[in-house]
């Protein structure tokens, strides 16, 4: 298990940062953020010493992104939607538009979050596309 710093920010200025150390804590934080009912979908970032994992909240489906550092490679979840079926998420109060190909089930995204919090590594339970 690792310590991760979670951060988020909606268009309306609501943002925050919190440390989590367990997968249930990370999931509870995501539930708390969604209960706030921000006016848009949001990405929540979880950062450890070994990588960065992002999960999408506020939609029927989700997405995931991972990278180990500011330098490539970067990875995004590989879903089954068409690239034109774009989806936008707020992160840090800014719009982040993603191609539809990143859309995966919420269950898969949260399984990836759990694996990331336990290992600090890119989750193997998600199919990834290098960007």
User: How does pLDDT run across 101-112, given as a tens digit for each residue?
Assistant: 999 999 999 999
Provide the percentage of residues in the chain whose pLDDT is more than 90. Answer: 79
Neighbours of 123 (CB within 10 A): 23
Global model pTM greater than 0.85: yes
Report, in angstroms and rounded to the nearest whole number, the Rg of the chain calculated over CA atoms. Answer: 13
Phi, psi of 102 (to 5 degrees): -85, -10
For residue 110, what are the domain limits?
A: 4-130
DSSP 83: T
6 Cβ neighbours under 8 A, 6+ residues apart: 17, 18, 19, 20, 26, 29, 44, 45, 46, 47
User: How does pLDDT run across 28-62, given as a tens digit for each residue?
Assistant: 999 999 988 777 799 999 999 999 999 999 989 99
pLDDT band at 14 (very low <50, low <70, confident <90, very high): confident
Cα angle 121, 52, 120; round to 5: 25
* Cα torsion through 101, 107, 110, 116, rounded to 10: -80
**Residue 120 Ramachandran class (φ > 0 left, ψ -120 to 50 alpha, else beta):** left
Structure-block tokens of residue 41? 């979908």
Structure-block tokens of residue 46? 């979880």
Residue 130 has pLDDT above 80, yes or no: yes
Instruction: State how many domains the chain has.
Output: 1
- Stretch 96-100: mean pLDDT: 92
User: How does pLDDT run across 85-95, given as a tens digit for each residue?
Assistant: 999 999 988 88
Please give the Cα distance from 120 to 71 (Å, whole number).
Answer: 17
């Amino acid at each position: 298990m690792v310590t991760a710093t979670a951060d988020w920010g909606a268009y309306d200025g609501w943002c925050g940062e919190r440390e989590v150390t367990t997968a249930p804590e990370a999931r509870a934080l995501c539930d708390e953020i969604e209960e706030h009912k921000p006016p848009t979908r949001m990405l929540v970032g979880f950062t450890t010493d070994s990588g960065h994992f992002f999960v999408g909240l506020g939609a029927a489906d989700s997405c995931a992104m991972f990278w180990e550092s500011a330098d490539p490679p970067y990875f995004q979840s590989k879903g089954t939607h068409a690239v034109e079926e774009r989806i936008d998420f707020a992160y840090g109060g800014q719009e982040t538009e993603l191609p539809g190909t990143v859309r995966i089930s919420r269950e898969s995204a949260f399984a990836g979050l759990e694996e990331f919090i336990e290992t600090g590594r890119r989750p193997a339970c998600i199919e990834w596309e290098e960007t």
